[in-house]
Structure 1
Amino acid sequence: MTGPESGSAVVPGAAVVPGASPAAASGPEHVIEPVAYDAILLASFGGPEGQDDVIPFLRNVTRGRGIPDERLEEVAHHYRAFGGVSPINAQNRLLKSALEAELAARGIELPVLWGNRNWDPYLREALTEAHDRGYRSLIAVATSAYSSYSSCRQYREDFAIALDETGLAGEITIDKVRQFFDHPGFVQPFIDGVHGALEDIRMRFPGIDVTTEVEVLFTTHSIPSADAAHSGPASRGFGEGGAYRAQHQAVAEVVMAAATAGESVPWQLVFQSRSGPPTQPWLEPDINDAIAELPARGVKAVVIVPLGFVSDHMEVMWDLDNEALETSAEHGLYAVRTPTPGVDPAYVSGLVDLVLERVNGTPVAERGSVTALGPWYDVCRPGCCENVRLGFKPALAGLAP
């Protein structure tokens, strides 16, 4: 599988990318024309910050799907176990501050605005603030690294909705940095985490054979199989699992090669946090099912790597630190969960580098990418990451539909 073409081919037709800067409006795969952005828009999922917020937040997340509150309560207990507070907003406050510090250290005068898709502060509030402060050209950084409907296209749809709700369409443009699953700044914290976990296991269990008695599980959020198949542009031919599975698989291979110094440590890609009806196929295997099978193969210790997450979201704190670690203990396995990037200096620096790619119009050959799949597209391609149940909705930072 080869990466995107390194050129900046323009799709015929004017202004085919809604709400884009002039440099991106005609739809090149990579924008190699410098753009003078006014501010960075840090865009995230959002989360409740108290018990009274939990159900209203979950209504926002599931809006349009007609899910009754009784069913939402089945998920709400994850949040209620932590006082009704999701960790994500606090993490984004830290990330915003870290980005501001990194920008200041480099002498880059770009303010950082923060808006969420599902809870306060909302994207529409961030856009209103941008307009009030005189900012008209924004570059968005979404806190999601991979290609799928929920991790890319839905952000782009919500940008369009927020511009419509605020009446700022035509006044503010929003570009978006490329999906950064294989940017060195995102990948390095996982390399460090796997290396450190294997060293920890060696110290705790002298004589353990990491080539037969340890398994590394790279875990990410499961998504419906139909959505996975439509992730990434169809022209790339990723097959079953689409770009979503292919990107995770490629990054995991890089992490293992760098973290093990040539040792052949067993690993696999697993999934977690599925929420659909049993009749709907989702990506598998589930992490808990995978853990249950390890003792029969002689595995004594497991390294759990939250490869699909940029920080310790609720899915990490509950589904991994609670359920997956409990499953490991039930099967007599020593388990260690490695860190997410969070505000790791390499990750924060990498996000600034991604912004500067667009500010400076960096040539594709000079962009950081550790797999053959990237560097990914600056402007999402036609039909990319369709939600087959909902169909196409207006979306920014990509070619229609």
Structure 2
Amino acid sequence: MTDQTLSMPSPRAVDPDSPTHTRRGEAKPFDAILFSSFGGPDGQDDVIPFLRNVTRGRGIPDERLEEVAGHYRALGGRSPITAQNEALIAALEQELARRGIDLPVYFGNRNWAPYNADAVRALHRDGHRHALGLVTSAYSSYSSCRQYREDFGMVLEETGLVGEVSIDKVRVYFNHPGFLEPVVDGVAGALQSLSVEGHDVDRIAVLFSTHSVPNSMAEASGPEETRVAGSGGWYVEQHLAACRWVMEQLHDDIPELPDWQLVYQSRSGAPHIPWLEPDVNDVIEQIAADGSADAVIVVPIGFVTDHVEVVWDLDTEAKETADEKGLAFRRVATSGEDPRFVAALADLVQERLDAQFPRRVVTDFGGTPDVCGANCCVGRMCRPTTSGVDSEQDVERARAEALTAGDPS
């Protein structure tokens, strides 16, 4: 296993200090926060209806949905994501109040109650007109960034509030230290724990895991001018930059760092469509087969909270794979309700309220824009968005290009 910093081409085709990375959003009198997430079922009867919402328009029969439903059913049919988001919102409200920021937080989801439309109706009913969208995805891609902007645009159409309510999404925040510092501590703690058990650092593999997406979606992530064939786009580069930064912070205490790799999980979709690889379980099996390590640390760096895809895919399946192969296993916690991450979310809000507020950015990727560039993170279902610079012509062209590329999103 090798350090992936040496094996991935860089998609950076523009300078990190250019407007592509530094474009700032329009100043508005923001008067509310729309906290938006993926959503999850509340009980066994909700599982299939929820998965139908997730896969709407893709023609997937219930028989195939039942394969994924088993992950939720094994946890009682209730996803932990709603409770986790409610706790995160409560902590954010306290942090905003501590800073003297008087903005109410409304909670909406893409795929289950409470829905985004209900949250927007509520904030409008309460007299608010300029909402700041805060989402539970830290990276750039169609499903983790652009689709939320499209969601906001569709919700305004659905509620009849186009032109009366505005929703501006905050920047992607994978490079905020408040998101990454808890990960550093988690990796350090896991290394220490394994060391106490007698595992040498050079016999430990660190696997940074994130959600796999179709290769075409990854290639289209980021603005048009940044794309380099075979690079995985901004989605892959941002993850690699985050991983590098986390490992670099360990140097003071651990002069000789263990090998690390970016791996993927939670693949879905038709088998003939290429998705990002390697899968975390395949990598664990390969580590055991080649004898390169006797312990693995799995780091869910692509996720904000310990929801189903972390608990099932890593705590259950990846751990079982490691156990079967005789490898010691540790899974690092997500940033979740860590006070540093809560403060990072408050920073994202304060950045948009005060142009002089310092933007905290780490990693070698550079900054990230408030306003996404033309054709940023396009997908097959590409629609007009909020918080971007696409024209209707851009959207139509981007949709045609994505269809040609076979993007199943």
Q: Same fold (TM over 0.5)?
A: yes
Q: Give the match for residue 44 of structure 1.
A: 37
SS at match of 1:294: helix
Map residues 107-186 of structure 1 onto 2, 5 A cutoff.
107-186=100-179
Q: Give the match for residue 407 of structure 2.
A: none
Q: Give the match for residue 241 of structure 2.
A: 250
Q: Give the match for residue 97 of structure 2.
A: 104
1:99 and 1:78 mapped to 2: Cα distance?
29
> Number of aligned pairs?
375
Evaluate the alpha carbon distance shift between residue 316 and residue 89 of structure 1 in structure 2; reply closer, same or farther with a 3 A threshold: same
Map residues 2-401 of structure 1 onto 2, 5 A cutoff.
4-5=16-17, 29-31=23-25, 34-205=27-198, 208-210=199-201, 212-240=202-230, 241-261=232-252, 262-295=255-288, 296-362=290-356, 366-387=358-379, 389-390=380-381, 392-400=382-390, 401=395
1:75 and 1:332 mapped to 2: Cα distance?
27
Q: Give the match for residue 400 of structure 2.
A: none
Amino acid aligned to 2:295: A
Amino acid aligned to 2:178: G
1:276 and 1:47 mapped to 2: Cα distance?
19
CA offsets 1:136-189 (integer angstroms, 9 cap, x no match):
001111100001111011111111111111101111011111000111111111
1:379 and 1:238 mapped to 2: Cα distance?
21
1:360 and 1:239 mapped to 2: Cα distance?
38
CA offsets 1:95-124 (integer angstroms, 9 cap, x no match):
110100111111211111110000000000
Amino acid aligned to 1:216: V
1:160 and 1:362 mapped to 2: Cα distance?
29
2:87 and 2:264 mapped to 1: Cα distance?
27
1:375 and 1:141 mapped to 2: Cα distance?
18
Q: TM-score, normalised by structure 2?
A: 0.89
SS at match of 1:131: helix
2:121 and 2:161 mapped to 1: Cα distance?
8
Q: TM-score, normalised by structure 1?
A: 0.90
SS at match of 1:253: helix
Q: Give the match for residue 6 of structure 2.
A: none
Residue 4 of structure 1 contacts residue 377 of structure 1 at CA under 8 Å; is this kept in 2? no
2:373 and 2:228 mapped to 1: Cα distance?
14
C-alpha deviation, 1:7, in angstroms? 5.6
Gaps of 5+ in 1: 10-27
1:128 and 1:306 mapped to 2: Cα distance?
34
2:110 and 2:300 mapped to 1: Cα distance?
22
Evaluate the alpha carbon distance shift between residue 153 and residue 58 of structure 1 in structure 2; reply closer, same or farther with a 3 A threshold: same
CA offsets 1:57-109 (integer angstroms, 9 cap, x no match):
00100001111111111111110111110111011110110100111111211
Residue 174 of structure 2 contacts residue 238 of structure 2 at CA under 8 Å; is this kept in 1? yes
Residue 35 of structure 1 contacts residue 360 of structure 1 at CA under 8 Å; is this kept in 2? no
> How many percent identity over aligned positions?
54
Amino acid aligned to 1:231: S
Residue 20 of structure 2 contacts residue 223 of structure 2 at CA under 8 Å; is this kept in 1? no
C-alpha deviation, 1:34, in angstroms? 4.5
Q: Give the match for residue 16 of structure 1.
A: none
SS at match of 2:296: strand
